[in-house]
Chains A and B, each alone.
Chain A
Amino acid sequence: MTLWDRWRIPIMLAPTMSVIIFLFIGGLIYGTMVSLGWQPLIGRTEISLRAYQNILLSGEFTEVFWHGLVLTIWVSVGSTVISAVLALMTALLLRRTFVGKRLATFLYQLNLPVPHVVAAIGILFLFSQSGVLSRTGAQLGVISYPSDFPVLVRDRYGIGMMLSFIWKEVPFIGVIVLAVLQSLGVDYEDLARSLGANRWQRFRYVILPLVMPGVLSGSILVFAFTFGSYEVPAILGVRFPRTLTVTAVRFFRNPDLNARTEGMAISIIISIIVFFLVLGYMWLSRRAIRQD
């Protein structure tokens, strides 16, 4: 074994791992230190849990944090579940053979490269009180003034954010499901049909177990992304409650460098929550698939 053979793999991995270790893990570690009050630039080197206490327990930011957490979980879990169900339904819809299938599939995927900033603006155009939907209502005589239209964007319940995420994520998970369905062919279903399985049984016992891993892995990415997303809640959210990311960035951008500590702490809490929820979800879903 030559020296090159021994060191070949570490050397090949080195460039990528430097990005992961110095930028990704390094950023997280440094961020954690800042969240613990360590800011040598302004001469603070003592370590304390003050920021976490201010946020989680009995500080001035407790209310902002816990309401924000509820909103963030509501929006991200809601968007993920609705997107996954709609993605599954729409993928099955596009899977059947029909005239214009290629065009429909192309249009279905058209919004994949559209960034979330643009998605949020599109939702404003459609669902704001003077938007397209409100105008349609006025044309049909259902409402008379923009103010008659329900508040669906910049609303307290995160409906606008969810609409924006669902619009983006349905084709995203749908494309993953379509790729799985494509690789399956129709053999399994034909077999099930010849054994006397009806439409529902073929879906429940043949298709669903086969596409479920794809749906779950897509949902994990969607959940992690929506939980930590900034642009959509910043454009479509209200002053209270704000999602955790929006609060974190506000604190972090505060000219008062002390607020940085709290902003950083919220970001670290976001990372910890997402990381453990994803791990738990993966563990649970693997177990569920094995039992199915």
Chain B
Amino acid sequence: MAAVNAGIARPGQARKRLLRALHYGAVILLIFLLLTPLLAFLFNAFSFRWFYPQLFPNELSMRAWESTFAANSKVPEALLTSTILAVGVTLSSVIIGLPAARAMGLYAFRGKRVIEFLIISPTIVPGIAVAMGLNINFIRWGLSGNLLGVGLVHLVPVMPYVVLVLSGVFANYNPEFEQQARSLGAGTLATFWYVTLPAVFPGIVVASLFAYLISWSQYILTFLVGAGQVITMPVLLFSIASGTNNALTAAMSLVFVAPSILILILTARYLSGKSSAIGGFGQI
């Protein structure tokens, strides 16, 4: 059979090899195009006196990093503010969203479609109108220019994804295990801690990932409600983005992005194939 086919298999084989080479070429080009902007940050961050038209910096230096973490730098404080904000928003969004997700995932009830529509509507209405509208009330209520007010506004883009992710988990959850635990004498708290929480834990990880990422990268809501008092990393970065110190801008960008990439890598195994959750990346 092989001997009979040998004569005609050759051109087919060559064509296959060419297609494979083309495929590899296309993949490499794609990855190259996607990575170049990120590589540009690395080059810039370690560059010093990188004059035109040098393609690569002739002098490498840690200057940008030194000034990023210098005593008079605003970066450490901004990192702290961003972290407090993102952690606070993440924790509160999961606590707020968990019961709603359970209701959406487990039960059928009248008006469910309307509730669902209302919960996802912040994903399609730009946050700018909401933040401007709240801004004036927040000034009156003392919520403008502080972390509490900014955190509250961050909840608006975060909640749809938290509820979406968690309700997906509850849709495959069997509440009868809770009844069994109760009939064996477990209290409400023990049932939640030992039965419910472990079952929905993977969902909580994914929901927290998106809550953190959306809050961490939020600029305009922080800017409008923070009124120049709440300086997070994106606010600081935006203020120097149009400046001329590329090395400093690049170093600060890397400091800003690194935690997000790290957290994504650490939680990647919980993320696979959850297509409803992936939508959260669109808000970053």
Contacts and interface: CB of A to CB of B under 8 A. Distances in A.
Interface of A: 8-9, 11-13, 15-17, 19-21, 23-32, 34, 39, 41, 90, 93-94, 96, 98, 100, 104, 107-108, 110-126, 130-132, 134-136, 138-139, 146, 167, 169-172, 175-176, 179-180, 182-183, 214, 217-218, 220-222, 224-225, 227-231, 234-235, 245, 248-249, 252, 263-264, 267-268, 270-271, 274-275, 278
Contacts of B12: none
A146 B54 CA distance: 12
20 contacts: A9-B107, A12-B99, A15-B95, A16-B100, A16-B163, A17-B100, A24-B130, A31-B129, A107-B31, A110-B261, A113-B217, A115-B219, A126-B37, A221-B123, A225-B283, A245-B128, A264-B133, A271-B125, A274-B124, A278-B124
Interface in B53-83: 53-55
Closest 5 CB pairs of A and B: A228-B126, A31-B133, A122-B37, A115-B217, A138-B53
B132 A264 contact: yes
A123 B156 contact: no
Nearest to B137: A30
Contact of B273 (A26, A28, A117, A179): A179
Contacts, number: 281
Given A118-B253, A182-B273, A245-B128, 16 more contacts: A9-B109, A13-B115, A16-B97, A30-B133, A31-B133, A111-B37, A113-B263, A117-B234, A118-B41, A176-B279, A230-B219, A231-B238, A252-B132, A267-B129, A270-B128, A271-B126
Given A31-B130, A98-B23, A224-B124, A13 B40 contact: no
Contacts of A90: 30
B196 interface: no
Interface of B: 20, 23-24, 26-27, 30-31, 34-38, 40-41, 44, 52-55, 95-97, 99-100, 102-103, 107, 109, 115, 118-119, 121-137, 139-140, 152-153, 155-156, 159, 163, 213, 216-217, 219-220, 224, 234, 237-238, 241-242, 246, 249-250, 253, 256-257, 260-261, 263-264, 273-275, 278-279, 281-284
A278 B120 CA distance: 13
A112 B123 contact: no
Nearest to B240: A121
Contacts of A234: 238
Contacts of B263: 113
Contacts of A23: 130, 134, 152-153, 155-156
B279 A221 contact: yes
B283 A114 contact: no
Contact of A112 (B122, B139, B250, B264): B264
